[in-house]
Structure 1
Amino acid sequence: MGSSSNTKGTTVVEVGTDGVAIITIVNPPLNLLSVDVILSLKESTEQALQRDDVRAIVITGSKGKFSGGFGVTAFGGLQKRETDRRVLGFMSIEFITDSYEAARKPLVAAIDGPTLGGGLEIALACHARISTSTALLGLTELQFGILPGLGGTQRLPRLVGLRKALEMMLMSKRVKGEDALTFGLVDAIVPPDELVNTARLWALDIMEGRKPWVASLYKTDKLEPLAEAREILKFARFQAQKQAPNLRHPLVCIDVIEEGIVSGPRAGLWKEVEALQELRQSDTCKSLVHIFFAQRGTSKV
């Protein structure tokens, strides 16, 4: 299932006798996302949802790494293919939100290693997240002049609250699994050798009603009341302008987060897609991506 050449990455599906389908992202070394990986994940998930012998689904990454997110070349002016831009919007709403998160079978993410950007966003749309203590989680897109584009601006605040979510996104901050547990980003911490098995059992527990079935996009218990939320966003804008007066993308990110809080998460998702398409074409994004490659080049010497 999920066929594609290794260079582009793919996903592999195994269905256990317990009725849990394990979908593994395979694009070594960091299991980076690409349009191919995402389309393969979509195909694998849809197949698992249709199979009568599958009761629940676990998503994980090969060789102890969940997914480092989209390769840097996926943003900036480096990939001009129109289909890619369209696919991102289509992916965020039609796939990640309307078939993946809204699935009739529970999805549990088994997280280890770097789980960044789009990789974390896929995990955020699952109904639970099981992690190792050393996994690194973060939405790091702002360091490349863009913003999370698979629903992260909407789901992260609903899982961890607005303050923590803004801090993570605006500072491209990575947090360890053990810390992620304390503020509700993950549901449990287990040793690496127990990770997938715990996730399987957790998924079956959700299916059988022993554990809660949570759609992150519609969680509200962690969100601050509206008046307080507006104050937090206002302060975040003030800080962003003070620290980087010439950068527009942090303010765009704050606007997108606010849209979801004021007008509802669905409106926020659409605004996120539009903002991402616009920011990917920006000079800031192109130059930050260029700097990233230049720095990587010198560090290898």
Structure 2
Amino acid sequence: MPASSETKIIHFSDAVSGFVDHGLLQITISNPPVNAISAAIREGLMQAMDMVETYSVVHGLIIRGEGKFFAAGADIREFDLPPSEPTLPQVTARIEALVKPVIAVINGPALGGGCEIILACHYRIALEAAKFGLPEVKLGLVPGAGGTQRLPRLTGLTAALDMIGTGRTISAQQALKNGLIDEVAASENLMLTAQNVAKKLIGSDLSRTLELSVKAENTEQTVAKILSKARGRVAPSEALRLVSLSATLPAQQALAEERATFLHLRESDEARALRYVFFAERDAGKQSADSTVATRKVTTIGIAGTGLMGSGIAVCALTGGYQVIGYEQSEEAALAGYQRITALLDKQFQTGRLSDQALQQQKANLRVSADIADLSAADLVIEAVFDDLTVKSELFVKLDKVLRADAIVATNTSYLNPDDLALQISHPSRVVGMHFFSPAHIMRLLEIVNCAQTAPDVLATIVAVAKKLNKLGIVCGVCEGFIGNRIFSAYRREAEFMLEQGALPHEIDAALEDYGFAMGLFAVYDMAGLEIAWAKRKRQAAKRSPDEPYSPIADRLCEAGRFGQKSGKGWYQYLDGKRQIDPDVTTLIETVRLEKNIQARSFTSEKIITQLLQVMTDEGTQLLQEGIAASPNDIDLVLINGYGFPAHKGGPMFAATQSKTKATGTSA
């Protein structure tokens, strides 16, 4: 309930203010845009509690957030600063110990420190739209203000282990079901409900979270599942350990262990790398796109080609709220494209990522046509046809005849030169690259290719569209493979040369997986299939210089009919679907070594990683020198989000900087 014009507003700090109404102090925390828990918020909360304790006419405290958030974690401006008092543990301890009731009114996401605040309150009321989470593990940390001890006392061990160990968020209804909150209320009744609850709690025995007991549960399966996905990260295992302590240690002893672990992890390489990634994502593309340039209006997006890639792009556009017009060359292909797109939408509905209302709206926003003239209504057309220069060039010529002169044309090419395609169309300044990663509706990365003649407002528009598509847009220049595929190609070549030098596929894969990759390079090849890359190498063979180093091992695998998992054999053999080392592959590799007169040498895991990282870093340095990439941050984000580089290592450019820092003994 808002304050009336006659209500005296009390400012407890720059970020906390409130008023007294009917004997209750109602305060609002405000630190736009997400009410991150800053020093000013902590100080303001302490000052507000001073007032509640001091004045007998104030019988309780109601806390809410301003705007659409309750509070979302720590203030990023304080990430690399030492903790300052009052600390968040001091705030949450005092909230819980207050003799007068404290009610949390959760008007939006309560994440990280914001969630820890509500866990310490005596009663929690939320809007249906509220979200809850303790995502600290995603920054290489653990909750540091009681989250690992309070949450399991409300939800039980299994639910707490899952939330804290994975960092995932849950809905208000899930939070109500597992006991994290006490009530869900409608927005128009939220403050009135809180006032009524507070009045009932005045003078009663308050529910103090740390006084609740934790029941023993069989959590082995939950723990094993989380650890299997940790891939070498320390924070998830430490989070699980701390949550488990809630069932075995006295609360205050476990809280002390939590705080010590939090402070230790805060200075770890893992946390430092993940903080770097956090800031890099926040600043992505700012150096390459001029934010002062006005963007073009985009309400309708055309998708030329609705195969696997095109249908995924269409789903992204529909999810972003755009009208979508798909195009195929025949009625039969158009119908198949429509069915592919709607099947993806149906799957999102079935998995709970899309409401029935949103599903119906997105289907209403979609049409797929066999008439290219229908694309004339599009403000932006993204071509997603086969990655062949002739095929794409012919399509561009056709598009030029039907599109408005101000319509933006984007190519989804992975390796072709978009400047060559721009020559096929009038007003080449409207041509830009949009390199999606497959599956396009799931993969977050989007390389935005700034072509030689791309107009500044076109580039700015695509950067804005990428945000609406919920993509991490990284702006880059034109070169073969752009940022990601160019580095990946160098990394792949080096791995294959290492086979000739003495390493084996399973040794390289094991080293990569130990480093933090979800799968090793050769296992990924087998999963994707080897024949497409083979066909590309055969097409390029005529242009390849005889002086260029080249490994024939992958070609010989394909010549032997070893195309990966689908054929039962690739870099590995697959028996009953299980990957196994194949002696025939070892023999093939040894034969190539013999032909090239190479004396095999042994490779340690450390040597494998060092050699592969060096190649990535060298190629990244070249991209920076050529102006293809704007910053090392952008290179790291591409490798992390498009190629599985472990985020907790920060990316190859960051990892190289850290190694150099340690070697010289200087501070980062």
The 2-side partners of 1:236 and 1:112 are apart by 30
Tell me which residue corresponds to 2:228.
Answer: 242
The 2-side partners of 1:70 and 1:132 are apart by 22
Equivalent of residue 188 in structure 1, options 183, 194, 200:
183
CA positional deviation for 1:119: 0.4
Tell me which residue corresponds to 1:175.
Answer: 170
CA positional deviation for 1:236: 4.6
The 3-state SS of whatever aligns with 2:247 is: helix
User: Is residue 51 of structure 1 aligned with residue 55 of structure 2?
Assistant: yes
Contact 1:115 1:135 in 2 (8 A): yes
Q: What residue ranges of structure 1 are gaps of 5+ in the alignment?
A: none
Equivalent of residue 160 in structure 1, options 155, 174, 181:
155
Equivalent of residue 116 in structure 1, options 111, 116, 128:
111
Letter in 2 for 1:135: A
The 2-side partners of 1:237 and 1:175 are apart by 19
Tell me which residue corresponds to 1:263.
Answer: 249
> Deviation string for 1:81-118 (max 9, x for gaps)?
3x53x653xx41x4422x32111100010001111010
CA positional deviation for 1:208: 4.9
User: Is residue 96 of structure 1 aligned with residue 101 of structure 2?
Assistant: no
The 2-side partners of 1:26 and 1:20 are apart by 19
The 1-side partners of 2:277 and 2:254 are apart by 30
The 2-side partners of 1:289 and 1:157 are apart by 27
> Deviation string for 1:222-273 (max 9, x for gaps)?
x323xx3xx42x5454334422241111111122222332112111111111
TM superposition score normalised by structure 1: 0.86
CA positional deviation for 1:300: 6.5
Equivalent of residue 238 in structure 2, options 247, 252, 265:
252
- Identify the range of structure 1 (247-256 vs 139-148) with the bigger mean alpha-carbon deviation: 247-256
Q: What residue ranges of structure 2 are gaps of 5+ in the alignment?
A: 1-9, 285-471, 475-668
Structure-2 change in CA distance of 1:106 and 1:293 (3 Å): same
Contact 2:42 2:91 in 1 (8 A): no
Contact 2:124 2:182 in 1 (8 A): yes
Letter in 2 for 1:258: S
Contact 2:138 2:167 in 1 (8 A): yes
Tell me which residue corresponds to 1:61.
Answer: 65
TM superposition score normalised by structure 2: 0.40
Contact 2:24 2:195 in 1 (8 A): yes
The 2-side partners of 1:4 and 1:107 are apart by 19
Letter in 1 for 2:253: A
Contact 2:164 2:240 in 1 (8 A): no
The 3-state SS of whatever aligns with 1:293 is: helix
Letter in 2 for 1:44: A
Aligned runs of 1:268-283 on 2, under 5 Å?
Answer: 268-283=254-269
Count of aligned residue pairs for this structure pair: 278
The 1-side partners of 2:233 and 2:77 are apart by 21
Structure-2 change in CA distance of 1:300 and 1:197 (3 Å): farther
Equivalent of residue 11 in structure 1, options 8, 16, 21:
16
Tell me which residue corresponds to 1:25.
Answer: 29
Tell me which residue corresponds to 1:218.
Answer: 211
Structure-2 change in CA distance of 1:262 and 1:143 (3 Å): same
- Ranked by relative contact order (alpha carbons within 8 Å, sequence separation 6 or more), the top structure is 1
User: Is residue 138 of structure 1 aligned with residue 133 of structure 2?
Assistant: yes
Contact 2:17 2:27 in 1 (8 A): yes
Tell me which residue corresponds to 1:41.
Answer: 45
Letter in 1 for 2:18: V
| Higher CA-based Rg | 2
The 3-state SS of whatever aligns with 1:186 is: coil
Contact 2:26 2:63 in 1 (8 A): yes
The 3-state SS of whatever aligns with 1:12 is: strand
Tell me which residue corresponds to 1:293.
Answer: 279
CA positional deviation for 1:13: 2.0
Following TM superposition, the consecutive aligned residue runs of length 4 or more in structure 1 with deviations greater than 3 angstroms are 1-5, 72-75, 234-241
Letter in 1 for 2:212: K
The 2-side partners of 1:242 and 1:72 are apart by 29
Letter in 1 for 2:78: A
The 2-side partners of 1:262 and 1:54 are apart by 38
Contact 1:11 1:41 in 2 (8 A): yes
Equivalent of residue 102 in structure 2, options 101, 107, 131:
107
Contact 2:42 2:86 in 1 (8 A): no
Contact 2:37 2:74 in 1 (8 A): yes
Structure-2 change in CA distance of 1:53 and 1:3 (3 Å): closer
The 1-side partners of 2:252 and 2:221 are apart by 24
